[in-house]
Structure 1
């Protein structure tokens, strides 16, 4: 069973369903051409206060296009940041300019993820159904980069733009982009003729190969933003770079939709509550997502079942009408052995510098959550938490003394802390304090 946290770590907050693009692949089931709620009375501050009350650590502002309601939510961003909550932004960047990008920086936005459908102008404008999309999005990306914000770019991949991955990355290679991602389009609930746009397993391998080529040729960090079943990977290199993920829906993350409804995943139509009833109440109802109830029978004997759980539950539901069948990208004839390789090796340093950006949330009497970012966090006992809070550096000898363990056992803990950016390598001459 997945260890239950007292609250989500991250909330995907869909500020509005409105968007100035009409992307063919948009997964939002509620998206209709006639939706317009810009002038309705949404109590953004009440949602903000509920988020703060529940000790959420990270909020991602999404939409629709969140910049359409930017003026309405500026006080909310300010209040979230003032309460120690990390805030990031997902946007198509079409409404970003020099003025509001500087303001986003000043407000404390930690990072921005920009959706760019293609580096080819005609394709980009066609997919978004906006004749100026390519020009506006690129202008917005450049404005964000000019403020030294952490900017990543994601392509949502369909049959319409799968050949554009390398070209799109080449357009960005001279900009200070943190990460370039290419992610297969999630199947929209509201689109019953999506087969002509959906990519298959072989095409997914092509996406991974293109991302590796981008990384090799341009030195850009690459990623894919969706979770795939382990058996969707055909080789070790793809898995090491783009696998080893778990689905965070209902485990570490929830979504609040534009109308205040609470879901486990932004892709889902299943509602667990409303912010007026409280985030905690909805979170408790999501226990079914944490107790292995939806593990497919066909996956039950797989050695990776507790990590993979049969892939994306929403993709399974769209394809079959049930959460208990595997993700359509699962391929059961795949018998690759995924070796447990550590990407972070300890060295002969006498000590490691402890991050100055740790945020600690108490989970129970014995354990707390140590948070650095939405992807970098661990649960730790109070002994380790107190040590990290009291010291500026950490060494093997600190851990050996704290737990009465061997150097080999202490090294395992150090590798885990390194992998989560809780500590970082210093110099050989640095000594623990």
Structure 2
């Protein structure tokens, strides 16, 4: 097994990875920006290396500095977590060239799935159900108009290199098409350095269902059930649960097998997620594949008992999966609420600053993944998520009751948070019924 791993990330995911490494007897190297000098992950790791100023482009996205820190520390592998360089195929390739193990899929796989229009083409050829849309990137206004007319309105304009809800526009009539296309291209160019755009039919008020997969280097691929990630605001997930309330056993098997087919089409290895949209008639369509660990991975861990970070490390080291599809059992129910430092009343504006008081909920089957502590200064340069509150129950009803109790115990003073808003969501009739969809927040909350 690896003796030392460098974690090319920050915040709660860096802490999460350090914990598993410690259990496995692996030493860890934390990297940090000047703004994160006092961050928890730097204190928990065996070593910590400053890789640049606060701006992500000069630190957590600084490939040269991260590779240098890896070589100088003697780490044999890099775990990228999520975000930052986790889906950067060039970074994965550089790791390979430097004889450093990248804990994730190969560079070619990341590149194939990272470009959404290219991924659609690969999935279509593999017999995976995709959303009707353009077969390749859109290169002109004339082509844009023609494809939109063929598939019918409403349509969704999407950045090929997109993620995090950026580079996306929903268009309901031809009058808005070209303007929205140009705006999406401009946003994608700034966010991803790639303004390639493709077009899809917009599925009205779908469920967003994703399937967790694991694949080793020997062609073995399994799925670990689904997560319902439909509780979103502006394409950003706020709350996830597993298993999905509306997913039958038959549908779970069908979607799981389709996810495995998608993964095999690109010879996938390591942890990944195949994301589908599920319409009201029970039809599901491939949306994208995330070639990394997901923010919401803990709910899958809670219902399967499988440590996904540990499996990532073992696969990257070259070990075979120690279990087959038949060994994976779904037990109970789990819910995750993302706790963000933001002012809900002011349009979810980020709320950086000093945490003056902190009380973290506990009790049976309550888990908090976080990197904050009392006295910690939340920097303004990064994502506003500061904690993930995860609960487990023997069934969905118990999990909901437990989450309400845990949210009621969670105290964070000094900054604004979305804890009260999460309580509203989990207490809503539509969530309790499980009938909520991706448009639920937009329709019911006017923040």
TM-score (norm 1): 0.32
| Higher percent of residues as strand | 2
